[in-house]
């Protein structure tokens, strides 16, 4: 379902030197699989997810998502593929503050080929227990409820792959546990694969399949002037 080969991403440092952030030789994820990557802050795991999602363009290498080579696509095509095949859950939820709960989910759907389906959006929100908060704005919700909106938005478009970047980083233990269970459950129900990155051992412990991001990401230490 997801295959990453020889992926390289560098950034230009303020000193004008090119620094490698991501260098992943091989990485694969099967359809419906749920896997967690352990990594410390600044280890490049968000960049790795951004590369998979096509938010960032790689310097070289290949990302093949559901048979389509993401890295060979133009930016607009990557945007379309992301809207169609991917769901993204951010650590800070990244909800649109000026939009209602329902609108946040509908917008997430509207860029995909199926378009905004109000009935389905409501059903997904009902699934995450927010059917009574459809017309609330994010600021009117608790942190846990905001996280559930983010989950609903990521899954509303029936994605093949869900990327979760420290999805419980802003929640307390109790809510983190519930949120993670919900993400995994809904992904399983929809047959979506889940790739989660976190530095939280308690979160990681819940995954049968987990590995160190440092084991797959081996950027060169030296910089290229």
Partner 1 sequence: MTLPLIVYRSLRQHALSTIITAGSIALACGLLMCVWMVKTQSQSAFTQTTTGFDAVLGARGSKLQLVLNAIFHLEASPGNLAYSDYEAIRRHPMVKAALPIAVGDNLRGYRLVGTVPELFTAVEYAPGKKFMILPGGRGFSADAKEAVAGSFAAARLGLKVGDKFRPFHGLAFDPKSEHSDDFVVSGVLAPTNTPVDRVVWIPLRGLQMMSGHDAKAATDVSAVLVQLRAPAAGFMLDTLYNKQGNRLTFAYPVGAIIAELFGKIAWFDQVLTLVAYLVALVAAGSVLASIYNSMSARQRDLAILRALGARRRTIFGAVVAEAMGIGALGAAVGFAVYLGLFMGVAGVIRAQTGVVLDVWAGHAVLWMCPLGMIMLCSLGGVVPALKAYRTPVAETLAPAS
Which residues sit at the interface with partner 1, rule CB under 8 A? 39-43, 45-47, 50, 53, 55-56, 75-76, 79-80, 82-84, 86, 88, 90-92, 94-99, 103, 106-108, 110-112, 116, 153, 165-166, 197, 199
Cα angle: 53, vertex 151, 104; to 5 degrees:
85
CB of 36 to partner 1, least distance (A): 13
CB of 39 to partner 1, least distance (A): 7
C-alpha to C-alpha distance for 34 and 97, rounded to whole angstroms = 30
| Spatial separation of the C-alpha atoms in residues 85 and 71, rounded to whole Å | 15
Judged by beta carbon, residue 30 or residue 89, the one nearer partner 1 is 89
Kindly state the smallest distance separating residue 153's Cβ from partner 1, in Å: 8
Q: Which two tokens stand for residue 94?
A: 């990244």
Considering the complex, state which of residue 87 and residue 144 has its C-beta at the smaller distance from partner 1.
87
Smallest distance, Å, CB 1 to partner 1?
A: 19
The nearer residue to partner 1, 30 or 198, going by C-beta atoms, is 198
* CA–CA separation, 199 and 205 (whole Å): 11
Q: Which residue blocks in the chain are alpha helix, DSSP H? A: 45-53, 75-85, 101-110, 118-127, 143-155, 173-190, 201-205, 213-216
* CA nearest neighbour of 112 among 102, 121, 123, 101: 121
Per the DSSP assignment, residues forming a β-bridge with 105 are none
Residue number with CB closer to partner 1 (30 or 134)? 134
Which stretch of DSSP H or E encloses residue 195? strand 193-198
Q: Identify which of residues 30 and 120 has a Cβ nearer to partner 1 in the complex.
A: 120
Residue 159: which of 76, 56, 105, 88 has the closest Cα?
88
- The distance of closest approach from Cβ of residue 185 to partner 1 in the complex, given in angstroms and rounded to an integer, is 23
Nearer to partner 1, 47 or 190 (CB): 47
Beta carbon of residue 98, minimum distance to partner 1 (angstroms, whole number): 4
């Amino acid at each position: 379902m997801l295959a990453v080969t020889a992926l390289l991403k560098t950034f230009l440092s303020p000193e004008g030197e090119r620094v490698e952030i991501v260098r992943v030789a091989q990485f694969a994820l099967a359809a419906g699989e749920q896997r967690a990557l352990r990594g410390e802050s600044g280890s490049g795991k968000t960049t790795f997810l951004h590369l998979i999602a096509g938010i960032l363009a790689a310097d070289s290498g290949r990302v093949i998502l559901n048979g389509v080579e993401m890295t060979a696509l133009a930016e607009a095509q990557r945007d379309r593929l992301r809207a169609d095949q991917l769901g993204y859950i951010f650590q800070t939820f990244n909800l649109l503050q000026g939009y209602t709960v329902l609108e946040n989910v509908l917008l997430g759907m509207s860029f995909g080929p199926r378009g905004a389906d109000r009935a389905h959006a409501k059903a997904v929100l009902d699934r995450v227990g927010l059917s009574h908060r459809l017309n609330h704005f994010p600021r009117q919700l608790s942190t846990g409820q905001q996280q559930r909106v983010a989950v609903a938005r990521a899954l509303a478009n029936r994605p093949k792959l869900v990327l979760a970047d420290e999805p419980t980083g802003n929640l307390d233990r109790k809510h983190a546990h519930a949120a993670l269970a919900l993400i995994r459950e809904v992904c399983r129900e929809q047959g979506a694969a889940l790739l989660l990155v976190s530095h939280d051992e308690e979160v990681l412990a819940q995954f049968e399949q987990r590995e160190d991001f440092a084991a797959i990401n081996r950027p060169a230490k030296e910089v290229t002037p």
